[in-house]
A and B are shown apart, each in its own frame.
Chain A
Amino acid sequence: MRAVAPNRRRPYVRSMVGWWRKNPYFVEYMIHEGSAFFVAAYALILMVGLLRLTQGEAAWNGWLTALRSPLSIAGHLILLVAMLYHAWTWFTIMPITLPPIFVAGKRLSATAITAGGLAATLLTSVLLLLLVWRLGT
């Protein structure tokens, strides 16, 4: 009988602990994923506003007063930065999520898609601003 050689295979599985710190690309990924907390925070602020609105004028005015506190203003400045970063990264990833787009027989480049998305944000922002401004007067 032939002796069977002992199996020396011992595949080594590396740990994933702290994987996002190992590459700047992943660090950025984690930061833009984190923008979700700010989007959620803003939606919850609006949700509270909506509930206050249903509770009558005094409640609504209370909400408006709370929005005027320095803490709220500072918080909203942070929210603004986070929202802008979310928009920026959302459109930076967009090229990998869209099917190829052909314009005049040539495939639209990733940069063009990102630029198009950011231009759309600019446009909707201006429209929203004008609309609110008109509704207010």
Chain B
Amino acid sequence: MSANLKRSNQPIFWLLFGAGGMLSALLGPMLVFITGIAIPLGLIFSPETMSYSHMHAFAHHWIGAGFIWVIVSLFLWHAGHRIFHSLHDVGIHAGTLARIICYGIPLLATVLAARSLIPSLI
């Protein structure tokens, strides 16, 4: 054991991982069912539910915009952190490249989603 007591920056990523994991456990299955199965197949919901005007209005409301932003970014932060550690598990050592991909994509998506949503709010 070396006395490497350098403070880890993982708390940030771990908190995002945990929040995204909890959110996807609570809402993930139903969201997939609604957007990927029920709506496309015309089940349960009115055909208007995800129409352009509806979704446009949804994304223009701060609650709707916040919901979309939180779901997209936290799901990705969750997945990125988990995949980063899984790469280490299978012996691909968590180098800079792995870090850039696993945390870069969530970061990019967070910024991109915010950029798409914020103009619709102002």
Contacts and interface: CB of A to CB of B under 8 A. Distances in A.
Q: Within 8 Å by CB, do A and B touch in the complex? A: yes
A40 B72 CA distance: 9
Contacts of A129: 30, 34, 44
Contact of A73 (B22, B36, B71): B36
A77 interface: yes
B89 to A, nearest CB: 7
Interface string B6-42: 0000000000000011101111111111111101110
Q: Range of interface residues on chain A?
A: 35 or more
The secondary-structure label for the interface of chain B is helix
B26 A124 contact: yes
Contacts of A51: 112, 116
Interface of A is mostly: helix
A134 B99 CA distance: 42
B72 A67 contact: no
B113 to A, nearest CB: 6
Interface of A: 16-17, 20, 30, 33-34, 36-37, 39-40, 42-47, 49-51, 53-54, 57, 60-61, 64, 67-68, 72-73, 75-77, 79-80, 83-84, 86-87, 90-91, 117, 120-121, 124-125, 128-129, 132-133, 135-137
